[in-house]
Amino acid sequence: IVSSIAVFLGVLFLVISLALNLEPVQVIVFTIGIIVANVPEGLLATVTVSLTLTASRMKDVQVLVKNLEAVETLGSTSIICSDKTGTLTQNKMTVIHAWTANYNAALGPDQIGTFWNTAPEGQTVTNPFVGHDMRNMEPSDPAYVGNQVCADIVQIGGLCSSAKWDVQDKIDRRTGKVITKFLDLPIQQRPAHGDASEQAIMKFAEARSGGKTGSGVETMRSQCPDVKGGTIPFDSKNKWMLSSCYVKDAAGNDKVRCFVKGGADRVWTFVDKVAAVDSEKNLVYRPKAEYDDAFQEVLALMASQGLRLFCFGYFDLPHEISDNKEKLGQGDEVVGSFRNLLKLPPGTEDWGPNSVRQPNYCRQDGPYYREDLSDPATGTHNNGLIFAGILALQDPPRLGVPEAVKTCHEASIHVVMVTGDHPRTGAAIAKNIGILWGKTMEELVTERCMAGQQGLDEAMAKGGLTDQDLERLKATPGVKSNFAADFQKKVQKQIEAEEALKMESEKTITSLAVSGDTVAKWDSERYTQDWYHAFEYVLKKGRCGLVFARTSPIQKLFIVNHFRMANQYLSGIDVEKQAPYGETGDSERIPILVKDEMVTAVTGDGVNDAPALSKARIGICMGIAGTDVTKEAADMILMDDNFASIVRGVKEGRLIFDNLKKSIAYTLSSNIPEISPFVSFIIVGLPTPLSTVLILCIDLGTDMVPAISLAYENPEKDIMKRTPRTAEDNLVTTRLISFSYFQIGVVQALAGFYCYFAVMYSEGYAPAQLPYHNELFGYFLPGGAPFGGFSVTENLEALAKAQTAFFVSIVIVQWADILICKTRRLSLFDQGMKNDQLNFGLFFETTLAAFLVYTPGVQTVFGIKSLKFVYWLPAIPFSFLILIYDETRKWIIRHHDDALDFFRYQKEKGLLKADYETEKFWAGESQDKPPRALEEDPEWTPKEKNLHDRQVTDLDRTATTMEKVARWLDEYSYW
């Protein structure tokens, strides 16, 4: 815009000058002067300084920026799709609880909530976990002795793991002496390699297998070596892993046992039997159906506390397979046997729904498939996975993340969690850190279930329940599962029906935690109603957050793509018949959630996250956990893997944009007082008020340092309380042009002309004499005609003094300009004068102006004459006028919403009072007829009608006027 204006005005004045038959040299000078006056020469230096300072500040907050332009884009971010583990949380997993089929257990060390007894009816068992912190329990603990199921969990945790110890002693680099031995370190502090969850489970097993005196896990692994090729690694899509090892059977012979560990909800689908300990401390296997309800409630309760749950199971291969070590060495028997546990139909090559493809030897009709894994030699009956138990891991939120999320909300930035954890776990963590702050469907179901159970308990406590009462309770949503096994499904269906009718759920369900299985059913190519309803929980007013859980990398890519589709849809013309991407078709009507384009930032660390990071407007990779491929695809790298660093980056991006805009606004304001002298020279015929040389002195001299100093300006206090800027909010907009040119620039031009005429008048030239007596008419030129009764030399000297006064006036009003450009909304008094570079800039431009005006020799070069000090003063009132106008403008912009609310409140208050008085009148409690009562009175007098109209409309008129002023300032003045 600025370049177009500069070129247009330059060409326009070139044509006019040629039409006036000016000298070619003079025409060129005029054209250059116009173009130079319109171009902010200090912008390039300001941009360079801003980016350099930003790079330095980002380094201080542990953010590596691969492309500094990305920081500026980050400042306009509307949505952040963030991973949970390691970004929002500390990635320091700790096993804080365990659960098996036999025992009750308090939820966590703080005894939050309890589980019901899941022992078979008629049996009494001792709970080994109640009152015990699992982190401190030892194998010698009386509560642990004889618990074979607990021993199985420890064994699976040690053997079915990809984590390894980093067995190195701490050595002093200077002396070479050992500072701390590896085994002397507390187990939780011992270094290890692998995923944080894997490390936590390994440390859990280490502490319960003699790890304090030696490496218990390493001993366990040496005693139970892996079967070559018998491992299926953890996959982010399947959420489980399998390891097969040689273990000893009761006779001391080797057999192959396969251990499975993974997400509790995923592994439970493979379970056939549940391992338990009876009252005689014997290990027994019971049907899964006996524990299904208990497992689901335990899963819901633990996950609702934000715990990551791992389910542990195992199965043994028959000896006929275990003894064939040649085939076992290829891993085919193990993989083919586990294939049986999934109970897939013949010809299927998948591990399960939505899972990755596996080799053909996994097919049910393959050579290694076993219909029955029972082993007659030992009497085992392993036709499915045996469930051992659950370990619950806690990963606390990072310090500063809740505050960072709160800052995002204040800045109108929507944070969406995208995690691989269970939906309840993700929702609980999201609530702890502030991403969710409303009720989800699951929470509403739980509340109703608890309410139903409470009603049942109260009725049973009173006694006298009839058969009809029991039947009624069984049909009531919320009754415990032993009365109605599908109570949760009933309650959810009831709530979904209410949602369809826009009843209770519209008010109560304000947050959403959607699973990857659900996302997989949505259209991956088009922006449909499913995606709209999900995004509604982020973008619609009154909704309280969104979590995508149990997602795979490909689903994460779909989420990013559909946020981009939403942007393209928002720019669509016809929401009735317009499909995404501008295709015509009979698409569903999808309401528009937001008006402006949303900039989406996405975090990731794994190789599979690279496509999502590449698709996002801003890709952010983790510096510690991130892979090389992901770092290459990202625009920014968080060296500390901390979500709070993203928020700091957003602040820096907004600061860059703000400071560049302030610098441009400051520089452009002087364009009008620089251009207007040429306009007056051509149109009015005034002697040149400001020479081209002095324009260059302003643009390349006095204005340069102050313009650059704005790059050092501190962020305004409300910088993270504004909404993200829109795509139309460029550095130079019509608002900024209106502010700089037609508001501040006009005042500066008036100041310049006032000083110009004041000096000419003091030199004996009345303002009325000057029009049409300029150089075009042969005056004020060396060798030209004398004017005003003075000689040519005196004419030239007077004009030089007037031009110097015009130059000085611009410097003085630019004092006010630089001060008002320090902030866009806040008052100067709130921002303060803490920018030392800007304070130096004020001193520099004043000193430079004085140097040019009063230094002999320099005056001759620039055509300047010394001025009396009194001629510096006329421009000062204009500076105060600019300051007062701008402070008033900013106050109205800051407070117009509050002012409108106040006036509307007063109006409503007045109307309510009038209604109250009207009711009293018609009830006979008052003899005074209020104006509102006249509405029901057929006989209106003109006086009464006028009184009524004034009462109703006065405050409304004031509010409307205030709104018009505020809207005008917002439209044409807030830049």
Active site residues: 83
Q: Which two tokens stand for residue 864?
A: 């300047």
What is 473-509 written as a DSSP string? HHTSTT--TTT-TTHHHHHHHHHHHHHHTTSTHHHHB
Residue 653: Cβ within 10 Å count: 25
CA distance 31 to 219: 87
Sequence-distant (≥ 6) Cβ neighbours of residue 556 within 8 angstroms: 81, 418, 548, 602, 604, 609, 612
Chain centroid to Cα 505, Å, comes to 27
Give 602's strand partners: 81, 619
DSSP state of 439: B
CA distance 797 to 542: 70
**Phi, psi angles (nearest 5°) of residue 592:** -85, 125
Tracing tokens 């001629």 back to the chain, one arrives at: 871
Give 620's strand partners: 603, 636
Q: Which two tokens stand for residue 784?
A: 């030209």
Which alpha helices (H) appear in 39-129, and where do they start and end?
43-60, 68-74
CA atoms within 13 A on the CB side of 933: 14
CA distance 418 to 266: 18
CA distance 264 to 312: 8
Supply the angle between the helices 792-820 and 745-762 in degrees, to the nearest 10: 150
Q: Which two tokens stand for residue 287?
A: 């049907």
Pairing of strands 164-165, 546-549: unpaired
CA distance 799 to 786: 13
**Phi, psi angles (nearest 5°) of residue 272:** -115, -40
Q: What sign does the dihedral 515-517-523-524 (CA atoms) show?
A: positive
Q: Are residues 850 and 915 in contact, defined by beta-carbon separation less than 8 angstroms?
A: no
Please choose, from the candidates 488, 466, 468, the residue with its C-alpha nearest in 3D space to the C-alpha of residue 479: 488
Q: Which helix (H) or strand (E) holds 944?
A: helix 942-972
CA distance 836 to 843: 11
Pairing of strands 164-165, 414-418: unpaired
Sequence-distant (≥ 6) Cβ neighbours of residue 228 within 8 angstroms: 328, 329, 330, 331
User: 307-326 in b/e burial notation, b at 16+ Cβ within 10 A?
Assistant: bbbbbbbbbbbbbebbeeee
Q: Which helix (H) or strand (E) holds 709?
A: helix 704-709
In the chain, the largest separation of any two C-alpha atoms, in whole Å, equals: 132
- What is the CA angle 332-338-341, rounded to 5? 150
Residue 790: Cβ within 10 Å count: 15
CA distance 551 to 562: 15
CA distance 558 to 562: 6
